[in-house]
Amino acid sequence: MGIKIGIDLGTTFSAAAVLDKRKGIPVIIPNRDGERITPSVIQFQGKNVIVGSEAKDAYESGESGCTSAFKRSMGSDEVYCTIDSVGYTPVKLSAIMLRHIKNEVEAVTGETVDEAVVTVPAYFYHKERSATLDAARLAGLKVKQLINEPTAAALAYSIDHWRENARIMVYDLGGGTFDVTLIQMKSGGKIESLRTKGDHTLGGKDWDARLTSLIESKAEFEAGLTVNEYPQLHNAAMRAAESVKKQLSTKNIASLRLSSEDFGKFKTEIGIDEFNKATFDLLKRTTTLCEQLLSELNLSWNDITDILLVGGSTRMRQVSAFLKERSGHTPLMHVNPDEAVALGAAICVWSPQPEYNKGVAGSISHENPSKHTGRVGTETKLHNALSIMPSDVCAHAMGVIAVSADGKKYINKTIVPANSIIPVKCAESFHYYTGEKDDNELEIYMLQGEKTPLESEVIGKYTVCGIKHDPKNNPTVVSIQYSYDLNGMVHVQVRQQGKNADLKLIEDPVPKDMSKFSLPAEKVTASAQPQQLNVVMAVDVSGSMNGYPLKEAKKAMCHFVDKLRNYPGTPQVGVVAVSDRSIVVMKLDSDLNKCKIAINSIEEEMAGILNGADPFEDIRRMLRNAVGRRWGIVLADGRWDDQPKAVRAAKMCHELGIDIVGIGFGTADEKFLKDISSGEIESMFVGCNELVESFGKIAQEIGETSPKRLGRSNKVTAVSTWRAIGETQ
Ligand code: ADP
Ligand code: MG
């Protein structure tokens, strides 16, 4: 039997660790050169591949064939660098790095590596995680799990500092990225990561760049050397910067000497105050993110039990000093902050694995942290190491491209909310109009993130096959289930309502051009989408309608209902009578005969004598969840008591995509009619005996703005027929 290890595959440095069961703690496995961390730098020299410090030195002195920081491009299939005409993708380079680590561990321990946990940044999307797993497979590693870096760091910290209900802020400042994560320790040995935030363009390299400028300005001020005149000065200053930065993490003054052929020699000193001043805004950016994270969780610095420093850049003394000033806590630092992540991963190889949640988001425990038990013995440490269960949250929501309920635009309908504890399964149901065959297809675009379809990461496209058609032409309901597995990767399953097997999915390449989803949905879908028609007719039954007017109105409404018989699908009609109250005479129904009976049952003054009420709330309620085109036709006579309120209520209908058309006669107010109408069909002001004709005209116009049955096909772009049930965006 071999060993199980934890690997921190870092952007600048990587490390490996193993759980030492005798000591009850994880320990770093140094490489063959005795270094505890290995630079993530590779040099290709003919057939030789050099990894680590030697490659880093070569890189810094400008030798060819070197590559670094490829982790930043993880998830992209494009070639990251071409050396001697060979193109290398980030996956290939990461695989070389991982294989190197595996080989070093095996050489140093004399054991084979059986299994590994590999760490990834919490913000990694599905694609980057999947690329990391691919790299591990290529490197010949069996991966038990991917774990988020901050969770791993907290895990390493927890075996010594376990306090139930403690809230730990993990502050990770590495070479090129900054991340802050809030972790909650919970009963039953659970560690839950609550939320994470970061700036992936901020890291040690930015401090190096500031130092480079500082050195250059000193060279100019003290020796009259300028970069314009001496181009080599810039590279020399850059190379010196990191060493100055490191010196300043233990000393107050760092000295440096630069030399090159073009400018000769230059010697100077940089003091800690100068350095701190030149980089203060960078540091401030990190604490601002910490404070944003706290405020998103409605917490303050006082609610934090400890701050844990992770990442090589937290060795800069300004980090803990400023954090202490802002938060009042003295930050804790592992002896080697760049090792904590690998140590945590080594514990995770032994951790019990959590079960699938059903859409539970990470929750904050408001109980006080238990008392710290002081020194932790070896046995307890081992017990902790083997029993603490880390659980990550997904940093990104997962959704699907759907059509908004008003049918006007494409939206990203969230299925799994961000910050749900993984592994998690969530499902949402959608209406879908099938064609008339029994093998309808549907396209699914999986989105990661909460922004609009174009701004979110499209992580997959699938064709769902074999969706059955409803003989009554009703829209089919399909349920889409997403599951985030323990590695933070997402899987999809689709099922048709009423069926007990999943539908077949075919994975398609994600199209490069997604721009159609920025167009109004109807424009793309009009020809393909058979639209269900839903109409609510509301008639004024106040005293002024008594006799002939109401008789004409009922006749006109029945005439309208008869016209609907020529419509595609199964149009639905509802009827409302309004005067001092609004009464639903008939709910939305597709039985048109029943509807005519309901219209004929309307009586004078059945809802009072005056015009105290308006029908818009009833119209809205009746049509809110209806699928397809939604119309409210309002017949008004005389003036309504609270016209501004009625206009406001009508506008709420418009906002939901419900079209209103107002028909007035008698003493109705023409401006009011215009205000309640939503525009597609103009409001009308007519005489009593023109009512039948006007309703006929409306029926025709509704027909013209409603797509025809002929457009139906059995393969429709799913998104064009997706409709989020009850969605109001
Ligand atoms: P990553 O997670 O990005 O791989 P690390 O956590 O290993 O990176 O951090 C690397 C960064 O830490 C580099 O920018 C490096 O310059 C910086 N660093 C390492 N040691 C020190 C030190 N003693 N003082 C200041 N910065 C340091
Ligand atoms: Mg790191």
Q: In whole numbers, what is the pLDDT of the chain averaged over residues?
A: 86
pLDDT value of position 723: 45
Q: What per-residue confidence (pLDDT) applies to 715?
A: 30
**pLDDT tens track for 297-329:** 999 999 999 999 999 999 999 999 999 999 999
Distance 185 CA to ligand 2 centre (A): 22
Task: Provide the token pair at 160.
Answer: 């010594």
CA 316 to centroid of ligand 1, rounded, Å = 9
What's the 202 CA to ligand 1 centre distance in angstroms?
A: 12
pLDDT at 710 over 50: no
Tens digits of residue pLDDT in 566-594: 776 788 999 999 999 999 999 999 899 99
Where in the chain are the domains? 398-525+717-724, 533-704
Q: What is the pLDDT of residue 372?
A: 63
Nearest-CA residue for ligand 1 atom 13 is 175
Strands (E), 475-581: 476-484, 490-496, 504-508, 533-540, 572-578
**pLDDT score, position 387:** 75
Q: Which two tokens stand for residue 25?
A: 């703690």
Among 101, 210, 245, name the best residue to mutate to test ligand 1's pocket (greatest count of ligand atoms within 8 A of Cβ): 245
Please report which helix (H) or strand (E) contains residue 163, including its range.
none
Q: Which atom of ligand 1 is nearest to the CA of 11?
A: 4
- pLDDT at position 132 over 50: yes
Residue 75, H or E segment: none
Phi-psi sector, 467: left (phi>0), alpha (psi -120 to 50), beta:
beta
User: Is pLDDT larger for residue 180 or for residue 381?
Assistant: 180
Q: What is the mean pLDDT of residues 694-709?
A: 67
Q: Determine the longest span between alpha carbons in the chain, in angstroms.
A: 107
Task: Report the chain's C-alpha Rg in angstroms.
Answer: 34
| pLDDT tens-place string over residues 449-462 | 988 888 888 988 99
Give the Cα separation of 371 and 672 in Å (integer).
68
Q: Work out the number of other CB atoms within 10 angstroms of the CB of residue 178.
A: 24
Backbone angles phi, psi at 79, to 5 degrees: -65, 130
Write out residues with Cβ below 6 Å of ligand 1: 10-13, 174-176, 203-205, 242, 245-246, 249, 311-313, 315-316, 338
CA distance 583 to 439: 43
Residue 439: pLDDT over 80: no
Q: Is the peptide bond before 352 cis (omega within 30 degrees of 0)?
A: no
Pure H helices in 297-439 = 317-327, 340-348, 378-387
b/e 691-702 (16+ beta carbons within 10 angstroms → b) = bbebbebbbeeb
3-class SS of residue 124: coil
Residue 126 structure tokens: 């599905």
Closest residue CA from atom 8 of ligand 1? 174
Ligand 1 atom at minimal distance to the Cα of residue 204: 14
Residue scoring higher pLDDT (687 or 302) = 302
Q: Which ligand has the nearest atom to the CA of 311?
A: 1
Does residue 370 carry a pLDDT above 70? yes
CA–CA distance, 6 with 10 (Å, rounded to integer): 12
Q: Give me ligand 2 centre to Cα 156, in Å.
A: 14
Asked if the domains 398-525+717-724 and 533-704 are classified in one and the same CATH topology, the answer is no
pLDDT for 374: 60
Q: Is the pLDDT of residue 718 over 80?
A: no
- Domain 533-704: CATH superfamily, name plus number: von Willebrand factor, type A domain (3.40.50.410)
Q: Whose CA is nearest to atom 20 of ligand 1?
A: 312
Residue 526 predicted with pLDDT over 60? no
**pTM score, two decimals?**
0.71
Q: Band of the pLDDT at 681, cuts 50, 70, 90?
A: low
Q: Is the pLDDT of residue 274 over 80?
A: yes
Nearest CA to ligand 1 atom 18: 312
Pairing assessment for the beta strands 504-508 and 490-496 based on DSSP bridges = unpaired
pLDDT for position 405: 66
Quote the pLDDT of residue 60.
Answer: 84
Give the ligand whose atoms come closest to the C-alpha of residue 71: 1
Say which ligand is closest to the CA of 341.
2
- How much is the pLDDT for 85? 92
Q: What pLDDT is attached to residue 622?
A: 92
Over residues 207-232, the mean pLDDT reads 95
Give the pLDDT band of residue 528 (cuts 50, 70, 90). very low
Residue 178, pLDDT score: 94
Mutate to test the pocket of ligand 1, among 13, 14, 207 (most ligand atoms within 8 A of CB): 13
Residue 506 phi, psi (nearest 5): -115, 125
Q: Looking at ligand 1, which residue's alpha carbon is closest to its atom 11?
A: 175
pLDDT score for 307: 96
Instruction: Check residues 678 and 37 and name the one with the higher pLDDT.
Output: 37
Q: Confidence band (pLDDT; 50, 70, 90) for 161?
A: confident
**Per-residue pLDDT tens digits for 497-507:** 888 889 999 88
Residue 680: pLDDT over 90: no
Q: What is the Å distance from ligand 2's center to 172 Cα?
A: 7
Question: According to the CATH classification, is domain 398-525+717-724 in 3.40.50.2300?
Answer: no
Decide which of 522 and 668 is more confident. Answer: 668
Q: Atom 26 of ligand 1 has which residue's CA nearest to it? A: 313
Phi, psi of 553 (to 5 degrees): -65, -45
pLDDT at 25 over 80: yes
Which residue matches tokens 């084979």? 112
Q: What is the pLDDT of residues 395-420, one digit of tens each?
A: 889 999 887 766 678 888 889 988 88
In sequence order, what DSSP letters do the residues of 293-310 get, joined into one string? HHHHTT--GGG-SEEEEE
Helices assigned H by DSSP within 530-669? 548-564, 592-600, 616-623, 643-655
Tokens of 204: 């040690």
CA of 698 from ligand 1 middle (Å) equals 71
Sign of the Cα torsion 672, 673, 679, 682 reads negative
Predicted pLDDT of residue 256 = 95
CA dihedral 376, 377, 380, 382 (to 10 degrees): 110
Q: How many CB atoms lie within 10 A of CB 373?
A: 11
Tell which wins on pLDDT, 711 or 516: 516
Strand, coil or helix: 382 = helix
Of 108-112, 301-305, 621-625, which gets the smallest average pLDDT? 621-625
